Amino acid sequence: MKLAVLALCLGVSLSGCLSLDFELPVTAAPALETRESRAMMRVDASSGALEWLSVDRGVRVRESNGVAHLKAVLAGARIYPIEGGTPGSVDFDLLSKYEAPGEWWSDLVDDVSVVEVGLAEESGAEPTLWRRSRIERAAHWLAFFQQAQFSSDVPELGQFPTFDEVSLALLSAARSAGEGEWRLESRTLVFEVPSTLENALLCQKEILSQAAPVSAGFSLQPSSFHYKDQRFAVRCMPRDDGWFVVATRNTEEEPIVDSVSIDELRAAGLPIATRAQFSARLAQLGLVD
């Protein structure tokens, strides 16, 4: 089960979900590389917005363009993913300058914001870059991206969530009628599809087999399963602190040859917090470093 696919689309790692009618300029290489990237999200039940927190540790800053890029990010530039410079990168500030009446992404531009961003020095003089973003109308965009995904993701017999012909027919009809499979209920993510009982049991087995390994990078864990009136549902609850830990990525790549040191970043005027200050900010957000 693609437990985190739509959650990732809702989060501001939106490059994989965007399909624009023009090409945006990108640099020859990412301005930043990171040793470890972690993404978390939570739903603001009172406003219906989704907050997305990314923490990148062991940041390597490319000498050619990294400092300028980092300054822009720290100033609140809405560049996703945060390292920029890849064909899938999206700069929402650049998008906002295009006149695009009627284009769906012009509404998305207005709904994405950077709440706060910071740079900190951790042990070994490694920079850590973190950013908290926000997407208004999360339920609307969740439904929108599902419909976009359905146009290219045709359900197949024998693949989750359709293991028998009756369930395949039910799901195909539901999608044709515009019915979504993911929805938000307060702070909870719910996945629900039409299904026979036998199919539901196979879906539950598949979900549990994919949710268990932490090494897979996703920890959007199922909290409960339900089956009633030919409907199979799984609820995903956030942790006690209110956050879903959506993805963690570690890289073993060779570092950038010409990487700017943290002392050079400081000399360039970039504000750099201490590890204690960074840990304190995470604690204010309900997170334990």
Between 228 and 109, name the one with better pLDDT: 228
Q: How many residues are given for the chain?
A: 289
Is the Cβ–Cβ distance between 83 and 127 less than 8 Å? Answer: no
Domain residue spans of the chain: 5-139+242-284, 154-236
* pTM, to two decimals: 0.84
Report the 10 Å Cβ neighbour count for 213: 10
Give the strand pairing for 259-260 and 32-33. Answer: unpaired
Strand partners, 233: 192, 226
Residue 240 to residue 235: CA distance in whole angstroms: 15
pLDDT band for position 95 (50/70/90)?
A: confident
Q: Tokens in use for 113?
A: 């914001």
Q: What is the three-state SS of the chain? A: CCCCHHHHHHCCCHHHCCCCCCCCCCCCCCCEECCEEEEEEEEECCCCEEEEEEEEECCEEECCCHHHHHHHHHCCCCEECCCCCCCCCEEHHHHCCCCCCCCHHHHHHHHEEEEEEEEEEEHHHEEEEEEEEEECCHHHHHHHHHHHHHCCCCCCCCECCECCHHHHHHHHHHHHCCCCCEEEECCEEEEEEECCHHHHHHHHHHHHHHHCCHHHCCCCCCCEEEEECCEEEEEECCCCCCCEEEEEEECCCCCCCCEECHHHHHHCCCCCECHHHHHHHHHHCCCCC
Q: Indicate if the pLDDT at residue 3 is higher than 50.
A: no
- The proportion of the chain whose per-residue pLDDT surpasses 70, expressed as a percent, equals 84
Q: Indicate if the pLDDT at residue 12 is higher than 50.
A: no
pLDDT band for position 211 (50/70/90)?
A: low
Report the 10 Å Cβ neighbour count for 84: 23
Architecture of the domain spanning 154-236: 2-Layer Sandwich (3.30)
pLDDT attached to residue 1: 38
